[in-house]
Structure 1
Amino acid sequence: MAQSTPEAGSGRVPAEAVQEATVPVPAAAGSGPISHAIFRLARLHRMFAGQLLRRIGLHPGQELVMMHLWELGPQRQTDLVRLLDSDAATMTRTVRRLEQAGFVRRRPSPTDRRASLIEPTAASHALRREVEQVWSRLEDISTAGLSDDERAAALRTLERLEHNLAVAAADSADADPQR
């Protein structure tokens, strides 16, 4: 395995904080060690989540749709796209697969003839506890060896990184004249 080792004294990441990377870190990523670590972490997290979810008949992302439907009740597909910051094509495929598996059904919207509502089925409600257990297991694996204080600090840091990227994305969208 390759190590991610930013230049000493660069002010980026202290050398003693660097642990072994799961994939080789290319030299071109040397100026972005945190971004590369996020990439590696997201890749592994999604891969392991996929393994756990497959055992209960879901693919990554489908459980998020189900979580929103269980929490909020029937939703228009466009609302699911917005809630999950997805795109229409991906959501169409996801809903179609969930429908084929018997976890959701479509019904006409009582307020908009053009729209249909996506609602969870009884079969999906039986799946809810299993999804919660998968997420609990994924959380335990991801944070193994961290104290409660370290978990809280990690969550604050991740939320800050997410905020920074959301602000940058919004600024970028505002600056794009084609939008």
Structure 2
Amino acid sequence: MSRTTNRDTPSRPHQETPATSSVPVPAVAQAGPVSHAIFRVARLHRMIAGQLLRPLGLHLGQELVMMHLWELGPQRQTDLVRLLDSDAATMTRSIKRLENAGFVRRRPSPDDKRATIIEPTVASQALRREVERIWAELEGASTDDLTPDQQAEALHTLQRIEDSLARAATRSPDVTPAPTADADTTTD
């Protein structure tokens, strides 16, 4: 009779199992267990987000562009680059895809002929409800096994990690600073 291991059976939600990962931890990464855990969590989070967004015709990150447009209203493309800590080429591709799908409209800035204004369309409002639903589903997938206190502590810890990484990024000579609001980042 063969013995069944955890790897042989699918994991079940809310089941107490030992911490395992589908990504083996190389010996070199033993010096950075938190960094490796962040890598694994981010990889899984992006994978699930991509799966949830795909039926809407959205690529990862496009929902964040739309969230900022819905929240803030029309924005210069340059400002979206800065808000999302993106680069001009990636943002241009995202905006073109969103425009082709009918979710945003581009127009020249009335104040600066070099700038492009991006605005959400009326058609994007139905998308907004779906993105909100998907975001809630993603949050549930991420935190359903945590108590409200554990969720608050995780959020606090992640904020401290982000702050620490942001400080390290500003000290690193290899990090390219984000474009300023005055920089022309459109490549239309």
Q: TM-score band (shorter)?
A: 0.7 to 0.9
| Greater RCO (Cα-Cα under 8 Å, separation 6 or more) | 2
In the alignment, does 2:148 pair up with 1:148?
yes
Whole-angstrom CA distance in 2 between matches of 1:64 and 1:145: 25
1:48 corresponds to: 48
Q: Deviations over 1:26-53 (max 9, x none)?
A: 1111101110010010000000000000
Q: Deviations over 1:31-83 (max 9, x none)?
A: 01110010010000000000000122211100000000001111111100000
Secondary structure at 2:141's aligned position in 1? helix
Secondary structure at 1:146's aligned position in 2? coil
- 1:1-179 → structure 2 map (5 Å cutoff): 19-173=19-173
Whole-angstrom CA distance in 1 between matches of 2:124 and 2:143: 28
1:13 corresponds to: none
Change (3 A) 1:28 1:65: same
TM-score for both structures, normalised by structure 2: 0.81
Give the share of equivalent positions with the same residue, in percent. 69
Gaps of 5+ in 2: 1-5, 8-17, 177-188
Cα deviation, residue 22, structure 1: 2.1
Whole-angstrom CA distance in 2 between matches of 1:37 and 1:135: 22
What one-letter code is carried by the residue in structure 1 that aligns with 2:68? H
* Structure 1 moving runs of 4+ over 6 Å: none
RMSD: 1.8
Gaps of 5+ in 1: 3-17
Whole-angstrom CA distance in 1 between matches of 2:145 and 2:100: 40
TM-score for both structures, normalised by structure 1: 0.85
Equivalent pair of 2:169/2:175 in contact (CA under 8 Å): no
